[in-house]
Amino acid sequence: MKGWFKSLLSLSVALLLLYIFFRGTDLKAFWGYLKKARLVYLLGFALGLVFFYWLRGLRWRLLYDGEGVPGIREFFMANVVGFSVNYLLPGRLGEVARAIYISRKSEFPSSYSVATVVVERFFDFFSIGVLLVFYLMSFPVRAARLKGNLSAIVWVSFLATLLLVLGILFLTFLWRRGKLHRLEVLLRVFPAHLREKLKNSGRSFVQGLHFFSSPRRALYFTLLGFLVWLAVALQYWLGLKAFGIHRPFFQIIPFIGVLLVGVSIPTPGMAGGFEVASKFFIVEIWRYSPNKAVAATITLHVILLLVTLSLGALVGLKEGLKLRRQSQ
């Protein structure tokens, strides 16, 4: 019953957000913008998504060391599987799915793979947070034109990222000194069930910190983290150009930051949160037509889902055929 309630609540939130998103849309103008969309840029957006999964796989592989590490192709397919599951099911189950997938393709236990996923997600927040601050520092005039609420979101994101990095350094210090158990004192303020979850998450994260033993690998991983999000910015820069939304490349960075806030709302396929966040930025910050914003947002979201789920289906079909051959 609890699971059904969560699913129903998630669906209700998605429908409410979609209603807010579509409210006041002129269908004639909407279809007009769709017909004028430039396919070459939309193709670039789709190919950029494939490159995004590959680049994430390249970065993720750096967290593995020793014998039995799969090739980049396996990490690419694991990312596709994980994001497909995230789009189909609530609760970020895709993170667990991709960890299990890569463990089955390697000699590493699932607990290790889960730890690498936790570390990877931490550094995602770090990378986008740093890029947002660079945007604010490098483009003070444009940044000053942002609305107060958006500026607050950006700066809060940066502060949260800074606290996250400090927390990582603190955990690393305790881990190297063998004093990690002292954190249990701080966890006593939380309820028992939450305390156990925090302990498990912390344990998984610490297990993945081994890669810090190599400064070079840590540097490569960090640089690839920035490259991943710059590739996302290039992808959306191309996708938005398809609808005549021409913005300087680095103005896409805060757009992505707001998108991440929207997709953090746990709805099926990111429905609603993605749309409202995208329309808000395109209309309120960049001052484009709401109908153009709706056309661009819906198209990019549909491509995002279609490409990911199609790749996920291909991976599933490949694995199914492989299992069938093994059973014969």
The total of structural domains in the chain comes to 1
Q: SS3 string of the chain?
A: CHHHHHHHHHHHHHHHHHHHHHCCCCHHHHHHHHHHCCHHHHHHHHHHHHHHHHHHHHHHHCCCCCCCCCCHHHHHHHHHHHHHHHHHCCCCHHHHHHHHHHHHCCCCCHHHHHHHHHHHHHHHHHHHHHHHHHHHHHCHHHHHCCCHHHHHHHHHHHHHHHHHHHHHHHHHHHHHCCCHHHHHHHHCCCCHHHHHHHHHHHHHHHHHHHHHHCHHHHHHHHHHHHHHHHHHHHHHHHHHHCCCCCCCHHHHHHHHHHHHHHHCCCCHHHCCHHHHHHHHHHHHHCCCCHHHHHHHHHHHHHHHHHHHHHHHHHHHHHHHHHHHHHHC
The reply to whether 208 falls in a domain is: yes
Q: Which residue has the higher pLDDT, 132 or 162?
A: 132
Mean pLDDT of 145-150: 53
The reply to whether 11 falls in a domain is: no
The reply to whether 302 falls in a domain is: yes
Q: Which residue has the higher pLDDT, 88 or 20?
A: 20
Provide the pLDDT confidence category of residue 216 given band limits of 50, 70 and 90: confident
pLDDT at res. 254: 87
**Average per-residue pLDDT in the chain?**
81
The reply to whether 18 falls in a domain is: no
What range defines the domain where residue 96 resides? 27-312
pLDDT at res. 120: 86
The reply to whether 6 falls in a domain is: no
Mean pLDDT of 230-257: 93
pLDDT at res. 154: 58
Whether 255 has a pLDDT exceeding 50, the answer reads: yes
Mean pLDDT of 7-22: 87
pLDDT at res. 134: 76
The reply to whether 266 falls in a domain is: yes
The reply to whether 328 falls in a domain is: no
Q: Which residue has the higher pLDDT, 298 or 90?
A: 298
pLDDT at res. 141: 44
pLDDT at res. 76: 95
The reply to whether 100 falls in a domain is: yes
pLDDT at res. 6: 73
From 8-12, 107-111, 320-324, the region with the lowest mean pLDDT: 320-324
Mean pLDDT of 52-78: 90
For 94-109, write each residue's pLDDT tens digit: 888 898 899 888 878 8
Mean pLDDT of 287-303: 95
For 161-202, write each residue's pLDDT tens digit: 667 666 666 666 665 566 655 666 666 666 766 666 666 666
